[in-house]
Structure 1
Amino acid sequence: MESSSPLVTLCSLAQKALDQATNHLGQVRKSQTQAQEQLSMLLNYQQEYREKLNSTMSDGIAANTWQNYQQFITTLEVAIDQHNKQLMQWNQRLDSALVLWQEKQQRLNAYQTLQQRASDQQKHLENKLDQKLNDEFAQRGAQRKKS
């Protein structure tokens, strides 16, 4: 099995690389989910704040209160825009991490396939040798009986 030793090493290294890619993918996915949740919270807060403004406006509103509402809504819209951009970046990172993970998985699968083929080939050779030895042993036994 010496011929498969490098394949065992390659499989081991590929497994480690896959494990690292899996961890990285998990971290990126977690961060992307958190960014999505933060954006959702901001959007919900913006909706609630607008509803509150509409309710307040129906009862009448002072000019300075109106300006405060407008400034806050503008600030909230800037924060939402920033979170949208951040979420887009996390989505791109997630896509990249997923591609990397898939590549590592394919590489490991390829090495495992090669390792399995080498193992099967070695077993086949061993079986042939065993069969040859058994045939020789049977032939010698038959010759002994004839003598």
Structure 2
Amino acid sequence: MAMNSALDTLIELATSQTDEAAKRLGLAIRACEDTEQKLAMLLQYRDEYEARFQTSLAGGVTAAGYRNFQLFLEKLDMAIDGQQKIVDDAKRRIVDERSEWQSCERKRMSYDTLATRMQKAAEHKANKLDQKLMDEFATRQSNYKR
């Protein structure tokens, strides 16, 4: 009985760890989606800014205006590169959190399997005991009738 209690405690603990790992995985996925949205917005803004500049080039731009455009694009590209690194880090975090969740889930499932085996062994033992008692009862009945 103490073994079942200890195993039940392990199962509860493993289930709790699995739930926490799943929550962290969900948070990592949401954070990655947010970083990807920010990257997409930066890329879209860069495209729009470059298109506006191309339009203004047709009307003529001063050398200072052209230089300002280049400087701004460089800063925008640096921001895009930085955001891409953040996205990459977020994706790595998802991989790490998914691996952790899978590890916790495997542990929980192994405890469940062990509990199932123990339960089946206990049922088998109880069935053998019942069969033995029934055999003894039948033998006594048979001897009593003689």
With structure 2 as the length reference, what TM-score do the two structures score?
0.95
Task: State the Cα distance separating 1:85 from its structure 2 match.
Answer: 1.0
**What are the within-5 Å matches in structure 2 for residues 1-147 of structure 1?**
1-146=1-146
Task: State the Cα distance separating 1:62 from its structure 2 match.
Answer: 2.4
In 2, the alpha carbon distance for the partners of 1:131 and 1:46 equals 81
In 2, the alpha carbon distance for the partners of 1:93 and 1:2 equals 39
**What letter matches 2:130 in structure 1?**
D
Identity %: 34
Q: Work out the number of aligned pairs and report it.
A: 146
Answer whether contact 1:53 1:69 (CA < 8 A) is retained: yes
In 2, the alpha carbon distance for the partners of 1:12 and 1:61 equals 69
**What letter matches 1:127 in structure 2?**
N
User: What secondary structure sits across from 1:76 in the alignment?
Assistant: helix
More off after superposition, 62-71 vs 2-11: 62-71
User: What secondary structure sits across from 2:11 in the alignment?
Assistant: helix
User: What secondary structure sits across from 2:60 in the alignment?
Assistant: coil
**What letter matches 1:80 in structure 2?**
I
Q: Deviations over 1:102-128 (max 9, x none)?
A: 100100011100010001000110111
Answer whether contact 1:4 1:119 (CA < 8 A) is retained: no
CA RMSD, Structure 1 to Structure 2 (Å): 1.1
In 2, the alpha carbon distance for the partners of 1:120 and 1:72 equals 71
User: What secondary structure sits across from 2:97 in the alignment?
Assistant: helix
Residues 1:2 and 1:117: Cα distance change in structure 2 (over 3 Å): same
Q: Deviations over 1:73-97 (max 9, x none)?
A: 1111111011011111111111111
**What letter matches 1:75 in structure 2?**
K
More off after superposition, 5-14 vs 59-68: 59-68
Which sections of structure 1, spanning at least 5 residues, go unmatched? none
Structure 1 moving runs of 4+ over 3 Å: none
In 1, the alpha carbon distance for the partners of 2:94 and 2:128 equals 50
Task: State the Cα distance separating 1:5 from its structure 2 match.
Answer: 1.8
In 1, the alpha carbon distance for the partners of 2:34 and 2:53 equals 28
**What letter matches 2:4 in structure 1?**
S
**What letter matches 1:56 in structure 2?**
S
Q: Deviations over 1:37-66 (max 9, x none)?
A: 111111111111111111111221123322
